Amino acid sequence: MVHAATARAHTNIALIKYWGKKDAALRLPFTSSISMTLEKFYADTSFTLLPSTQESEFILDGEQVSASAAARVMTYVATLQQRHGVSGTFRIESHNHVPISAGLASSSSAFCALAAAFAAAYELDVDRTELSRMARLGSGSATRSVFGGFAKWERGHDDETSVTRPLDEHPSLDLSLTAVEVDTSPKAVPSTVGMRRTAETSPYYPVWVENTEKACGLMERAIAAQDFTRIGELAQQSALDMHALTMTARPGFTYFQPETLAAISTVEALNDAGVECYFTIDAGPNIKVLSRAENVEEIANRFRAHMPAVTLTTTSFGPGVEYLA
């Protein structure tokens, strides 16, 4: 048996959003979703099997995580051990190259990398479809980080059928994403809490489910046609739909901050000036701008001029999960 393994997984941004679980334990979503895996944001995670005399531990960015803070990760690993009939104590060491809990999908890369390192350390014979199931049990969005480029998480109806499949892992489409970080502090309403409240209390949630399934079909066709404009339009509308939905929960809430609205206005001004670009926003205040590569510099200059305090990072398509050791 291999005693240690290290995996790298990149974050992904949902272009057609996932928001709400119909089964919290299995993290089965009410809707399918489609994502873009990103090159510059990723997590490197090592999983090491320890002698039985040592206790399990979790080290994040060089700091040991307390038992209470590590509970979600430890419970997740215990679930994987039970699922695959393995046991033992372990050390997890993870390095995140993405702000945590800021709406930049840090959990997608973190749990995907952990699932992959776990599988390799125990020498499990799993294909990427099974790996997407394993990652899903840690974080719903992590299932999509198994694959590079564009991927679709099929909502399915049970553990067997709720998996991710690649749509185009090596896109030739000219598509860049500029992350506009207006605030990287932890969210006031965690995604899990926000999803549950919205699904349980918003009177518009059934409409969201129906529209999102339709949008997935439209997005698949746009990706197959390499239609940048249609991809951007669909992604922006899905983001607006999701954030409008949170305001209709009871009580309603929003992840938007004044700077979020200012960033949206900047994107609108760019389009008015003839620079085609679109925004998407996950569960947080930070926006991501979709554009062609030739417009990245002009977009960055506009943000620096009007919002000098923001941090800008431009990236494009990233790969699926990789094994480093």
Over the stretch 262-301, which tens digit does the pLDDT of each residue have? Answer: 999 999 999 999 999 999 999 999 999 999 999 999 999 9
| pLDDT over 80 at 100, yes or no | no
Is residue 175 very low, low, confident or very high in pLDDT (cuts 50, 70, 90)? very high
Contact 144, 41 (CB under 8 A): no
Domain range 4-170, CATH architecture: 2-Layer Sandwich (3.30)
Q: What is the mean pLDDT of residues 130-155?
A: 98
What is the DSSP secondary structure assignment for residue 66, as one 8-state letter? P
pLDDT at 129: 98
In 10 A of CB 68, how many CB atoms?
A: 7
| pLDDT over 80 at 99, yes or no | no
pLDDT at 185: 82
Q: How many percent of the chain have pLDDT more than 70?
A: 97
| pLDDT over 80 at 105, yes or no | no
Ranges of each domain in the chain: 4-170, 176-315
Contact 216, 32 (CB under 8 A): yes
The span from the CA of 254 to the CA of 194, in Å, is 9
| pLDDT over 80 at 104, yes or no | no
pLDDT in tens, 24-63: 999 999 999 999 999 999 999 999 999 989 999 999 999 9
The span from the CA of 23 to the CA of 8, in Å, is 28
pLDDT at 106: 81
pLDDT in tens, 63-83: 999 999 899 999 999 999 999
pLDDT at 98: 80
In 10 A of CB 279, how many CB atoms?
A: 23
Q: How many percent of the chain have pLDDT more than 90?
A: 92
| pLDDT over 80 at 171, yes or no | yes
User: Is 3.40.640.10 the CATH classification of the domain at 176-315?
Assistant: no
Kindly report whether the peptide bond that precedes residue 251 is cis, defined as omega within 30 degrees of 0: yes
pLDDT at 2: 59
Q: What is the mean pLDDT of residues 214-240?
A: 98
| pLDDT over 90 at 89, yes or no | yes
Q: Rounded mean pLDDT of the chain?
A: 95
